Chains A and B, each alone.
Chain A
Amino acid sequence: MRGSSLWAGAFLIGLVALTAGVALFWTPFDPTANGPLRLAPPGWPHLLGTDAFGSDVLSRLMAGAKVVLLVGVLSVVGAAVVGVPVGIAAAMLPRAWGEIPARLSDILYGFPALLLAILFAAALGGSTWTAVMAIGIATIPAFVRIARAGTLEVLSQPYVEAAQLAGLGPLAIARRHVLPNIAPLVWVQASVSFGIAILSEAGLSYLGLGSGPDSPTWGRMLREAQDHLFSTPILALWPGLAVAFATLGFNLLGDGLRDVLDPRLRERA
């Protein structure tokens, strides 16, 4: 059993990434072109059928993988780049100063990405970039928390004291001792956050607050499918499965990474 969720997760994510990669250069049909054949069932040449505008469903799914990975990578990497240093600093600064970012991220932890995106969309209009911004900002507190907790644990180790006695400055300690030791925690958090980002992006684009009409997203496809539930319910199947499997992939990868990287956190059962 050990490592199986890691491999299953990596397989699913690989599949999504491969699809997105292929879609960069080639899709069976133009994902945004309207065709004469509307609401066609799965078959040939439209393997997964066509939607209400006559667009090829498979091509739109592939193009959607690009958007979801773009939003996920940008928001999660952005959140980690901001959140991890803040978390480390919060743990290493004197208590009075370190408390502030810690408490602030506790408060912001409950602020959902969707509400943030709604605020941005109300002020700026919805787009891929407001989605990235909202999901990214909402993800920062998770990284601050995990980095702070990890750093506090590392700082209590004797080798840090030895390094301090040897004359190493706080920046050098952060780079040489803290960062490598909290890296596993950060990787696990990144994987979990990526799964949440995919769900958030799907919700946003379902509500029409994400990417514009010219870039097909899984959430938008679900929204459009909903108008044809009586005649062609299968249109609501593919995009939802895509969201579920992509998210499942990152959740499994997170679980697997936790098992491999940090044996102490392994489930007791």
Chain B
Amino acid sequence: MRRVLIRLAWFLGSLLLASFLIFAATNALPGDIANFLLGTNARPEEVTALRERLGLNRPFLVRYLEWLGGVVVGDFGTSQITGRPVTEMILPRLEVSAWLVGLATIGSLLIALPVGAYAALRRRHLDGVAVSAVSQFGLAVPSFWAGIWLVVLFAVQLRWFPAGGYVSYWDSVGEWALHLVLPVGALSIVQASVISRYVRSAVIDVLHTDYFRTARAIGWSRIGALWRHGLRNISISLLTVIGLQVTTLLVGAIIIEQVFAIPGLGSRLLLAVTQRDLVIVQGIVLVLVWAVLLINFLVDVAYQFLDPRLKRAAA
């Protein structure tokens, strides 16, 4: 329990630090929004007036604390371009991105577990080595390139799935699923090649343990013994990878949203960047970074429950 509390304190501290760094990066750097909005020909007094209206002339720390205070109660400020509340803009898009990342996590596990186990069991055979080689190549492929080829194959040639866009499941569950197959597939395939390598080495570890040999000796099949005794042990190292990989997946999702024209957080973020709408940029980046930190925190806590050895060490 003490371990969890210490970890919680670190987690809250890192949320705070991240929010400060993000605010500092968008506000301390040159490139004032007032100058940008008014163009280079603006008179200095116009710029000063706009800066005052946007509250840019007050001390940096005051503005940071105000922003953070708003964020904590769910108010991300007002867009400098559209004049609408940022929170209202983020929420529906957060849901879209969450579907993308969540389904891709599940999809990548569904591919990686059997593929990794196969590569481990057949590691001394040609097909096992071939699977490893393919996953090595998959490590080097950007997920958006995989996405482009899925479009060429399944949208342009076979016309099975739409090449892009998004439909809310409130409108049509079938259409919603059809539109998500290719983007989720692109993220899952690339992600699976990373995870399957961890699965492979975790399974090889299990194959060399005494308990596995004993299970085999009393008559379990290799698959059966792996399923009965290996899964829990593999799940611990798997959890680590998922924690590490969630960052890659989020970044991949930002780009994939661009490939498939999906109205998620990433595409809104990039639009805000081209418009220099810094309030939206810092809001969305904060949501993404906090999501990464939250997932890593949850992974850390989940260890305690999955690995009884840690619980005993802490007691």
Chain A interface residues (CB < 8 Å from chain B):
103-104, 107, 110-116, 118-125, 195, 199, 202-203, 206-207, 209, 222, 225-226, 229-230, 233, 236, 240, 243-248, 251-252, 267-269
Considering the complex, give the chain A residue whose CB is closest to the CB of B152.
Answer: A233
> What residues of B have a CB within 8 angstroms of the CB of A240 in the complex?
141-142, 145, 148-149
Tally chain B residues at the interface, Cβ within 8 Å: 51
Q: What is the CA–CA distance of A199 and B252 in the complex, to the nearest angstrom?
A: 11
Residue of B29, B258, B269, B270 touching A124 (CB-CB under 8 A): B29
Closest Cβ–Cβ distance, residue B90 to chain A (whole Å): 15
Are B140 and A251 in contact, with the CB atoms below 8 A?
Answer: yes
Within 8 Å of chain A (Cβ to Cβ): is B241?
Answer: no
Within 8 Å of chain A (Cβ to Cβ): is B104?
Answer: no
Residue of A120, A207, A236 touching B149 (CB-CB under 8 A): A236
Are B201 and A123 in contact, with the CB atoms below 8 A?
Answer: no
Residue of A119, A195, A243 touching B22 (CB-CB under 8 A): A119
Are B144 and A222 in contact, with the CB atoms below 8 A?
Answer: yes
> What residues of A have a CB within 8 angstroms of the CB of B148 in the complex?
222, 225-226, 229, 236, 240
Residues of A contacting B: mostly? helix
Are B296 and A110 in contact, with the CB atoms below 8 A?
Answer: yes
> What residues of A have a CB within 8 angstroms of the CB of B204 in the complex?
268-269
Within 8 Å of chain A (Cβ to Cβ): is B273?
Answer: yes
Within 8 Å of chain A (Cβ to Cβ): is B139?
Answer: yes
Q: What is the CA–CA distance of A127 and B242 in the complex, to the nearest angstrom?
A: 32
Are B17 and A107 in contact, with the CB atoms below 8 A?
Answer: yes
Within 8 Å of chain A (Cβ to Cβ): is B272?
Answer: yes
Q: What is the CA–CA distance of A252 and B273 in the complex, to the nearest angstrom?
A: 36
Within 8 Å of chain A (Cβ to Cβ): is B31?
Answer: yes
Are A123 and B123 in contact, with the CB atoms below 8 A?
Answer: no
Residue of A112, A122, A233, A246 touching B273 (CB-CB under 8 A): A122
Are A119 and B137 in contact, with the CB atoms below 8 A?
Answer: no
Are B270 and A207 in contact, with the CB atoms below 8 A?
Answer: yes
Are A123 and B26 in contact, with the CB atoms below 8 A?
Answer: yes
Given that A123-B30, A252-B136 are contacting pairs, would A115 and B289 also be in contact in the complex, using a CB cutoff of 8 Å?
yes
Closest Cβ–Cβ distance, residue B279 to chain A (whole Å): 10
> What residues of A have a CB within 8 angstroms of the CB of B201 in the complex?
267-269
